[in-house]
Amino acid sequence: MLWVGTSWKMNGTLAWARDYAGRLREALADGAPEGVQPFVIPPATVLAAVHEVLGEDSPVLLGAQNAHWAEAGAWTGEISVGQAADAGAELIEIGHSERREFFAETDDTVNRKVRATLRQGLRPLLCVGEPGAVFDAGGSVDHVVGQVDAALAGVSDLSTILIAYEPIWAIGEHGREARAGDIAAVFAALASEYGERVAAILYGGSVNQRNAAETLAVPGVGGLFVGRSAWRVEGYLELLEIASGLVRA
Ligand code: 13P
């Protein structure tokens, strides 16, 4: 099974989200492509609408891009895991590098959020990745394994957890596409430490329809976590098909 999902980040109106979800529902009316688990992570403002359009029996897992560790209370601007679940989320994205860099997420807050998500029966999607300077200095494996160790401290059952390795230097408009050789060592380390215990380890960062197959061929890669290349529904569907083709081959 390969996991292939997208975060829309801070993009999309209700109208845009409903249109995307409607076309996704239609395209997957007979189920997801064989061997692939799709997931979509919209902004919180459109989560309930996307859930409604996809319908209860959708093969697409829905997620939230962040949730607070507390169940409720005076945390202005935040949403709880329970609120995300109420809006249709089954998965909570935690610790994306944009949140670590710009919103003061630390290994400690990431760990709290992982534990809160598991406590409430949702699936954490734990994001990790090293800055370019660490990559250049040859420190990727230590950095990334250290982030995962810290995020999962005190957690004994990891079986529902997804890890997404997203090197910061590879993410977004100014990112550099990773080659297999750039990420193989981190996947080897994560797979040997966590591969048997988590649900899957995904790769993210400038994934597109051209490099998806090469990325999925790296040992230990169990799926793709995609931004820009899946923000058109046709682009996302193409990535699901590429993954399915590899599973069936
Ligand atoms: P891009 O695919 O746009 O580089 O974004 C990756 C990402 O950050 C997914 O969360």
Distance CA 7, CA 203 (A): 13
List, in sequence order, the alpha helices (H) in 68-200.
Answer: 81-86, 97-102, 107-119, 132-136, 140-151, 180-194
Whole-angstrom Cα distance, residue 44 to residue 68?
Answer: 13
Tell me: the pLDDT tens digits for 121-139? 999 999 999 999 999 999 9
Give the separation between CA 215 and CA 178, rounded to whole angstroms: 8
CA 199/CA 233 separation, integer angstroms: 25
Query: Confidence class of residue 188 from pLDDT cuts 50, 70 and 90?
Result: very high
**Would you say the CB of residue 228 lies under 6 angstroms from ligand 1?**
yes
* Predicted pLDDT at 164: 99
Specify the 3-state DSSP secondary structure of 63: strand
Measure the CA–CA gap between 178 and 205, rounded to whole angstroms.
8
Q: How confident is the model at residue 18 (pLDDT cuts 50, 70, 90)?
A: very high
pLDDT at 90: 98
Q: What is the C-alpha separation between 139 and 136, in angstroms, rounded?
A: 8
pLDDT at 28: 98
Q: What is the pLDDT of residue 203?
A: 98
User: 227 alpha carbon to ligand 1 midpoint, in Å?
Assistant: 4
Verify whether ligand 1 is closer than 6 Å to residue 235 (CB atom). no
- Which residue's C-alpha comes closest to atom 2 of ligand 1? 227
**Chain mean pLDDT for the chain:** 98
Residue nearest atom 5 of ligand 1, based on CA coordinates: 227
pLDDT, tens only, 35-75? 999 999 999 999 999 999 999 999 999 999 999 999 999 99
Percent of the chain with pLDDT over 90: 100
**Residue 96 appears among annotated catalytic residues:** yes
- Domains, the chain, ordered by start: 2-248 (3.20.20.70)
The pair of structure tokens assigned to 43 is 């902004």
Ligand 1 atom nearest 225 alpha carbon? 9
